[in-house]
């Protein structure tokens, strides 16, 4: 089960990702419906563990839908449901980068926007940085729309950045300045 709640609103909670969550995280990246829009390669458990261990400059969260009686600490079985993940990468750099996904049955219900909003608040509250970044493939309209709805601005494009689904795809980079986020609150 996920760990203690770091932050939440009325609908979603960001909880610390624990060792027991690795299979959930790995299954999510292996799911073709998620892997394609993320551009993630297929990874077995060992490859995934190595990949996570190599990211010591990151904060990992499990996006959860908590029941009303779920406490702030380690939840009891059945008190929370994992619906996705958010990773804040490059935390020691001047611009942390958000990466996120939701399980398919949680998509399109506003959970992503809520979870990314909580992650932005977390970054600006935890780190003295001027901005936060995120990226999405040009074909991933849902992710691009989510970022733009939160005030992220397109800052650049890496053309034919990665080979996904038989084509070289463009990656669109976004940024959100601290003062832009503060002004929208």
pLDDT of residue 58: 84
User: Model pTM?
Assistant: 0.87
CB burial readout 30-50, b (16+ within 10 A) else e: beeebbebbbbeebeeeebee
| Per-residue pLDDT, 29 | 62
At 49 the pLDDT is 57
Count of alpha carbons within 13 angstroms of residue 126, beta-carbon side: 16
Partners of 169 in beta bridges? 162
User: Over 70: is that where the pLDDT of 47 sits?
Assistant: no
Q: For the chain, what percent of residues have pLDDT higher than 70?
A: 83
Residue 97 has pLDDT above 60, yes or no: yes
Tokens 């729309």 found at: 145
Residue holding tokens 């959930």? 24
**What is the pLDDT averaged over residues 124-144?**
94
Residue 68 has a pLDDT of 83
Q: What pLDDT digit, counting tens, does each position of 115-126 carry?
A: 999 999 999 999
Please say if the pLDDT value at position 165 is more than 90.
Answer: no
pLDDT (mean) for 77-95: 90
């Amino acid at each position: 089960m996920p760990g203690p709640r770091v932050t939440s609103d009325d609908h979603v909670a960001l909880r610390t990702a624990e060792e027991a969550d690795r299979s959930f995280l790995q299954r999510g990246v292996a799911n073709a419906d998620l892997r394609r829009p993320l551009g993630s390669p297929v990874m077995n458990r060992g490859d995934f563990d190595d990949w996570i261990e190599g990211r010591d400059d990151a904060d990992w969260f499990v996006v959860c839908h908590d029941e009303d009686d779920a406490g702030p600490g380690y939840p009891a079985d059945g008190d929370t449901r994992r619906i996705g993940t958010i990773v804040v990468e490059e935390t020691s750099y001047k611009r942390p980068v958000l990466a996120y996904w939701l399980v398919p049955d949680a998509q399109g219900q506003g959970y992503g926007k809520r979870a990314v909003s909580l992650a932005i608040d977390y970054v600006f509250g935890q780190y003295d940085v001027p901005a936060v970044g995120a990226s999405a493939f040009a074909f991933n309209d849902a992710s691009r729309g989510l970022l733009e709805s939160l005030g992220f601005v397109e800052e650049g494009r890496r053309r034919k950045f990665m080979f996904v689904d038989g084509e070289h795809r463009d990656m669109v980079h976004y940024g959100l300045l601290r003062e832009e986020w503060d002004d929208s609150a």
